[in-house]
Structure 1
C-alpha cells in the first residue's frame, strides 16, 4: 500500500474526487470503517470521508467493552443479545491482542437486585447463546480472595462471567487497515457540506478539506451515512424516530490507586443503573454515566462536575476503603451515544432501546444507532440496502473479518507484546517492524505503548494533528499524567520530522493539544450551582 500520511492526502484528494465510486461512506468511526471494509472485500470501489479524525467521536470514547449486552436480555431484546454474543466470539477468535477476554464480577448483597439465582438464570441464557457455560457463583469466603476491598456489609457472594475488552480507537484503525488492504480509500479532515442530488436521487456529495478550505465534489452510485450522533445533519429521519444523543463519561485512575483484576459490575445507589470498574491498558476505568447531551456536537464532549461526583460516589459505594477522590484521576473522557428514540417524553436515557434503524432514500442509506460489538452485521445490513443503487449484488461471504497477519520476526519482544502488536497492526506489522529496528523496543514509562508505535503512527497512520497521535493512534494522552505533557520533548524529537512540521507548527500543535486536554480530558471546572439529577 502507498504511504498514508499528510503528504499523500494532499496529493490524493483531487485525484480521489475525480473518480466515480460505487460507494462513498461518510463517517470514520467503527460503523463507517466496517462498511468500507465489507464493501472493499467484495470488490466495490469505495471511499470513506471523516470530518475530524478516524474514531474521533464515540468510537474512541466508548466504554471499551466488546460485550453481548447482558442487560438487553432482561429487556427482551434477545435477537440483539444473540447477535452481539456471536460477534464478540468472532472478534475474540480473529483479533487476539486487540480484543481480549475480560472477567466480570457481580457482587450480590442481601435484599438487593439482582439476586444470585435470577442473575444466574440470565447468564445461563447468555452462555447458551455463546455455546458454552461461562459463569460461576462464588460464596463469600471465596469472593474475598477474588475481590479484596469490596464493600462487605450484606455481601452474600458473587457471580463471575466473561465478556471482552478492546482499545476502541485501535479497532477502528485495524478495520480501516484491512479495508485499505482490499482497495478501499479513507480520508480524515474532510467535512461533508451537502449531498448532491439529481432528479430526486443522491448522486454524491460536496465536501470541504478542513486543512485548506478547498471544496470538492465526489460522485458515487450510493452514499452510506454512518455519522453516529450526527446522523441527522445531512438528511432528515422518517416518522417519529430521531437520534437522541446520550453522553457517557468515564474516569481513568492509576492502577495502584484502585487495583482490580476483574471488571466489577454493580448498581449505582443513586439511580440503580449498572456501572463498572475495570482494568484497561494498565489503568482502572470507572464508568459510565447516561444522560442527555445538550451541548453542541461540533465541540468535543466533556465530563461535567455532576458526572464526576456520580462516578466518585460509585467508587465510594463499592470500594469504600480505597477513598478515591478527584485528585486520583489521571484523565477523563466523554462519548456521545447515537441512540435512536421514538420521541416518547419522560423516558429515561437508560430505558431507550439500543436497536438501530436504517433511513433509506434513492442513492443514500443512513445508519442510525447501533453498537460497537455488532459493527460487522450493521455494515452488511447497510450494504444490502445499497446494493440496488450500486447495481451489484451483495455477495454473502461469512469469511474472516481480518486477513492473515504477515508477522515479521519479533523475537526481541515478549510473547505478550508480540500478541498485542499483531492484534493492533495486522497488515501494517512489517512497517512497524522497520521502525522498531530504528527506534528500539522501549515502552513509554508507565505504559505498554512502544516509542516505535508513536513513530510509526506519525509517518504512516494519517496523523493531521497532535491530538490524533496522542489520544487515538496511541492512548498515552489518557494514560499518562497531564496528557503526557512531560513526554512531549521526546515525542517531538521522535515525531516532528516524520510529521513534516516546522518548529512553528509543532509549537502551535502542542499548545492546542494541551488546551484541548485540559478542557475535555481532565477534571471539570468546579460547578457553583446545585448538581441536577443525573438521570431525570
Structure 2
C-alpha cells in the first residue's frame, strides 16, 4: 500500500469512506470487490481505536437472547462462521465455561434452554472446510469439573457449569488491516493520518444539498486536499455523530459512547474462557489469549471527547473490585495487571424521553448492539451521504454489505457481494494447522515459533514479508533476527510494515502491525530495535527518533 493524498485529490471516486476501523475497512473491501473506485481516509492509524480495543471475540452475543434480539444473534452467528472461513489464520474456536447457580435464571435448566436456542440459531456453524474450526454443541459439566477448570469460582449455590463455543481473533487490528489491503489489491486507495475536516457540498437538483466529496488535512505535512466522490460513507465509529455534524449541526442520529476497559494478566484461565457475572458490575469475560489472559470488559457511558479516551488507575482499581467479586478466589492485585487498554463502543442512541419530555439516563449496558445504515438523502435532504452507525465487530462485514448495497443503488449500478466467500488478504491457506507445518518446513532457517507467528499475523502472505529481507543488499541476516530474545517478531516485519503497510509511526508497528506491544511493554531492546529499523526507513533525525520512542512508551502508562 502506498499513501498518496495528492494523487487521490486528482482522482474521481465512486465511494469515499471516512474511517479506517473495521466498518470502513469492510466497506472498502466489499466495494472494491464489486468494482467501485474507492478511497478510504483515516484521521489516525488504521484500527487505532474501537477496532483494536475490543475483547478479541467473534461471537453471537449469548446475552442478547435475554433481550429478545434473536435476529441480531442469528446475524452474529452466521457472520462468526463467515469470518472463520475467510480469515482462517485469525479467527479460532474458543470454549466458554458458564457457571450455573441455584435453579432459577442462573441455573442449569434456564441456561440449558438458552444455550440450546443458541446452538439452534447457529445451525450452520460447522459448514466449514477446516475440521479444526468446527464448534461442538453445548454440554453440562459437574460442580467438581467446573472447579477443576476455575478454582476461583464462587462456590455458594454453584450447581455446575455449561461449556459452549464461540470464536476469538488473534489480532483484530491485523484483520482490519487485511481488509484494507484486500481493498487496495482490487484498486482502492487508502491513507492514514488523513483527517476529514469537512464535506464538499453543492445544491441538489432534487432538494437540499448534495455531498460530492470531503476536505482532508494531511497530518504529516499540514497540507489540505479535496477528495471527490459520488457517494461518501461515514464510518467514523465513535466519531460518527461528530462527522455528521460537519454537514448538519444538529445530526439526525445520536450515539451513546460506551467505554470498555480490559486488563491483561498472566495465564489464569488455561485453554477455556469464562463468562462470569458479578453483582457489582454486570458480566465480564476471562479469555485466554497468546499465553496470557484478557479480562474484560467494563461498560460505562463516556461523555467526554472520544479523542481523550484512556485508562486511569481508578478504572483499573474499580474493575479489579468487580473481577474479585465475580471470582473471589483470584484475589487479583494491581501488580498482577501486565497491560491494559480501552475502547469505545459506538451505540445507536434510542434512549426514550421521560414523562416530562426530558431524555432518560443513558444506559450503555442494555443498549442494543444492532447497527443502522442511515441514508441522509432520504431523511435529511443531504444526498450522497450514508452513515454506518453502531454494530459489533462480528457483524461489521454484513453492515458493510448493506452500506455498499445502498451506495450501488445511489450510483445506479448492481453487483453482488463477494466478501462472504472471498478470503481476506492473507486468508488463502486452507487448513491452518497443515499450512503452518508446511511453512515451517519451507523456512527451516527460521525457528518454528517465528514461522508460526508470521502465519498468525500474515497468513498466506508470509512469503511477501520474508521477501522484504532480500529487497536491499546486506539486510537479510539482520531482518530475519528477532527484535529481542523474548519476542518472536523479526526485523522483516517492521521493515515490511513501513515499506508496504503504511506504518508511519513507531506505535503503528508496536501496537497494530505486529503483536510486539499488545501484551504489555516488550522491553527496551525490542522497542529501540524497532525504532532503529524505522529510523533508517523513514529518515528520522535524533529528535524524531527520541520522540517516537517516548510517545510509544507513554502508551503503556495510565492517564
Same-fold status (TM-score > 0.5): yes
Give the Cα–Cα distance (whole angstroms) in 1 for the partners of residues 453 and 487 of structure 2: 13
Deviations 1:411-461 (A, max 9, x none): 236777656534532464322122466423647555554444333223322
1:219 to 213, 228, 237: 228
Greater displacement, 215-224 / 133-142: 133-142
Greater displacement, 90-99 / 156-165: 90-99
For residues 218-237 of structure 1, what are the structure 2 equivalents within 5 Å?
218-236=227-245
For residues 241-390 of structure 1, what are the structure 2 equivalents within 5 Å?
241-255=253-267, 258-271=268-281, 273-299=282-308, 301-344=309-352, 345-360=360-375, 361=377, 362-390=383-411
Once the two structures are TM-superposed, the CA of residue 72 in structure 1 deviates from its matched residue by 1.1
Aligned CA distance change for structure 1 residues 240 and 402 (closer, same or farther; 3 Å): closer
Give the Cα–Cα distance (whole angstroms) in 2 for the partners of residues 184 and 87 of structure 1: 24
Once the two structures are TM-superposed, the CA of residue 124 in structure 1 deviates from its matched residue by 0.9
Give the Cα–Cα distance (whole angstroms) in 1 for the partners of residues 389 and 64 of structure 2: 18
Deviations 1:366-396 (A, max 9, x none): 1110111111110111011111332322324
2:24 to 32, 47, 54: 32
2:502 to 459, 462, 468: 462
Structure 1 alignment gaps of length 5 or more: 521-536
1:121 to 113, 124, 148: 113
Aligned to 2:132: none
Aligned to 2:67: 75
Q: Are the counterparts in 2 of residues 178 and 427 from structure 1 also a CA contact under 8 Å?
A: no
Q: Do residues 399 (structure 1) and 391 (structure 2) align? A: no
Aligned CA distance change for structure 1 residues 415 and 73 (closer, same or farther; 3 Å): farther
Once the two structures are TM-superposed, the CA of residue 239 in structure 1 deviates from its matched residue by 8.6
Q: Are the counterparts in 1 of residues 21 and 50 from structure 2 also a CA contact under 8 Å?
A: yes
Q: Do residues 424 (structure 1) and 432 (structure 2) align? A: no
2:164 to 161, 164, 181: 161
Structure 2 alignment gaps of length 5 or more: 126-135, 204-208, 353-359, 378-382, 430-434, 470-475
Give the Cα–Cα distance (whole angstroms) in 1 for the partners of residues 47 and 10 of structure 2: 26
Once the two structures are TM-superposed, the CA of residue 225 in structure 1 deviates from its matched residue by 0.8
Q: Do residues 517 (structure 1) and 527 (structure 2) align? A: no
Aligned to 1:141: 144
Q: Are the counterparts in 1 of residues 484 and 525 from structure 2 also a CA contact under 8 Å?
A: no
Give the Cα–Cα distance (whole angstroms) in 1 for the partners of residues 289 and 439 of structure 2: 27
Equivalent residues, number: 507
TM-score normalised over the length of structure 2: 0.85
Deviations 1:307-355 (A, max 9, x none): 3233212332344343211111111111111001123313422111111
Give the Cα–Cα distance (whole angstroms) in 2 for the partners of residues 31 and 143 of structure 1: 38
Give the Cα–Cα distance (whole angstroms) in 2 for the partners of residues 244 and 315 of structure 1: 25
1:434 to 464, 467, 478: 467
Q: Do residues 183 (structure 1) and 168 (structure 2) align? A: no
Once the two structures are TM-superposed, the CA of residue 277 in structure 1 deviates from its matched residue by 1.0
- The DSSP-based 3-state class of the residue aligned with 1:488 is helix
Aligned to 1:21: 13
Aligned CA distance change for structure 1 residues 441 and 104 (closer, same or farther; 3 Å): farther
Give the Cα–Cα distance (whole angstroms) in 1 for the partners of residues 366 and 452 of structure 2: 38
- The DSSP-based 3-state class of the residue aligned with 2:323 is helix
Greater displacement, 19-28 / 431-440: 431-440
Give the Cα–Cα distance (whole angstroms) in 2 for the partners of residues 177 and 422 of structure 1: 16
Aligned to 1:192: 196
Deviations 1:250-307 (A, max 9, x none): 111122xx34321111111214x111111112211111111111221223x1124443
Give the Cα–Cα distance (whole angstroms) in 1 for the partners of residues 449 and 167 of structure 2: 17
Q: Are the counterparts in 2 of residues 195 and 234 from structure 1 also a CA contact under 8 Å?
A: no
- The DSSP-based 3-state class of the residue aligned with 1:476 is coil
For residues 82-93 of structure 1, what are the structure 2 equivalents within 5 Å?
82-93=74-85
Q: Are the counterparts in 1 of residues 483 and 530 from structure 2 also a CA contact under 8 Å?
A: no
RMSD: 2.5
